[in-house]
Every structure is written in structure tokens, then in C-alpha cells.
Amino acid sequence: MGVLQDFFTYLHHLSQVIHYALTLDPRLYAYVSANPSANWLVAGVVFLAGASTLLGQSVVLFVNRVRRGRFLFSLALNGVMYIISYLVWGAMIALVGRFLFSDPPAWGSVIRLVGLSTAPLIFGFFILIPWMGPFIGRVLNVWGFLILLSAVEFGFQIGFWQALLCVGLGWLLMLALHRAVGRPIVALRNRLWRRVIGSSLDASTEDLLLQFAQKGEAPVVLQRGRQ
């Protein structure tokens, strides 16, 4: 009973964190940066953002004819991957901040603040909407970027342009890291996706349909046309 109550309390706090993050509320930044106990709340936000974003882009899962169980597993897996990538992303920004600004906050504090910037992506499943979905995706990304800037501003107690510089340099550092040691990690990630869904996440619908056309299970008109 106590576990269940704790879970509902967690959900209640999570919804409040999401609400305040979406409105760029500095009171939330103060709470999150000062309390290591907020780790689980921020992890919850990032996990939901990752799962929802993949749901929004789930056409690749459907085209691969992923079964329901694996579909749900893929969403959860993407949530976990989001947590890992935002840990690295937060660490990069914290590293840049340490070089650029005096009196930087603790690493964990910066990482938690960066994690909050994923809050808008909780609406990532709206990317599913036909025609306007990709536009919604871009709006959510811009919204997340604005949260990131304001969180960095708050975390390092700096101005907008300094925050922009810090985030920009952090992004360049991520790119460099990706070039230097990222390839094996990306290969591992792709291998994982291939095991779970049957192809990499960036395969196009047309390519996948062509693959299926060569198998006997495709609809007749597709087999006939692509012979």
C-alpha cells in the first residue's frame, strides 16, 4: 500500500515538475538544482520524453511489423537511451561552464537542469499527426531549447548570450565526442535497434516496403508491381 502511495505521490510531483518546466518557471530551477532528490523526477521527465518522441516517430516500428510487446519495449528502450544521452549532454554543458564561468554549480545540478529541457518532448506523440506532425516536432524542439537556455542562465547565473555560447560550445563538444569515440557507441545502438525492431531507426518507409515486396507476405499489388 505504501509503495502504491509513494508511486502516486511521485506521479503528482512529476506532473508538477513538467508543468513548471513547460512554463520556464525559475522556482523549479531553484528546487531542481538544489535538491539531488530531484534526480528521479528529472529522470522521469527525460524517460517520458524519450518514449513519447519515439511514439511520435513510430512509423518505422510499424513498417517493420514490430509486435505489440516489442513496440512497448522499444518505447521504454528509447526512454532509457534519452536518459543516457541527456546525462552526457548535461555533462558537456557543465564542463564548458566550468571553463567559461566563475563559481559554477555542481555537475549533478547542471545535468538535472539540462534534463528539464526535454519536458516539451513529452508531447512528442503529437508528431504522429498527419501533415502537421513534423512541424509540431520542430516547435517542441525550439520550446525545449528555450527551456535549456533559461535553465543554463539560471544554473550559472549568467545572461542570455553567455548561456547561448555555453550551449553552443557544449553542442560542438558533443559533435567532437561523437566523431572521436561515438562511432562504436552508435554502432552498438544501431545493433540494439536492429535486434529489437529489425532495422535502424532512420530507414525510410519506401525502402522497407521494397524489402517486404521481395517477401511472400506483402500485399499482392506490391508483389506484382515490384517484380
Partner 1 sequence: MITYLFLGVFLLLFVTAALAPLESLGWWAGWTREASAKEARPKAKPSVAAHRADEPDFYLIYLSGIGAISGDSFPEEEYPFLQGLKARLPTAKVITDVYPYSVTNNGLTGQRFFAGLWKRIEKMRWKNPNSMLALFVNLRNALQMFVSADRRYGPIYNLGIANEIYRVLLQHGYRPENGRPIVLLGWSGGGQIAIGAANYLADLPSPLYVISLGGMLSDDPGLEKLTHLWHLYGVADPLQALGAVLYAGRWPIFPHSPWNNAMAEGRIDIICLGHYRHNNERNYFDMKTPLPNDARGRTYGEKTLDAVVHILEDQKLIGGASEEEEQRQRSAAATMQEAPPSSSLQTAA
**Between 48 and 113, whose beta carbon lies closer to partner 1?**
48
The CA distance from 181 to 213, in Å, is 37
**Between 67 and 179, whose beta carbon lies closer to partner 1?**
67
Helices and strands per DSSP (H, E), number in the chain: 11, 0
Nearest distance from C-beta of residue 129 to partner 1, angstroms: 4
The CA distance from 58 to 69, in Å, is 14
| Residues 7-66 interacting with partner 1 (rule: CB under 8 A) | 56, 58-59, 61-63, 65-66
The CA distance from 217 to 129, in Å, is 28
The CA distance from 188 to 206, in Å, is 25
- If binding is defined by CB under 8 A, does position 200 make contact with partner 1? no
The CA distance from 125 to 136, in Å, is 10
**Between 80 and 128, whose beta carbon lies closer to partner 1?**
128
- If binding is defined by CB under 8 A, does position 129 make contact with partner 1? yes
**Between 81 and 218, whose beta carbon lies closer to partner 1?**
218
Residue 194 near residue 208 (C-beta atoms within 8 A): no
- If binding is defined by CB under 8 A, does position 68 make contact with partner 1? yes
- If binding is defined by CB under 8 A, does position 220 make contact with partner 1? yes
Contact residues for partner 1, defined by CB under 8 A: 56, 58-59, 61-63, 65-68, 125-126, 128-133, 205-206, 209, 219-222, 224-226
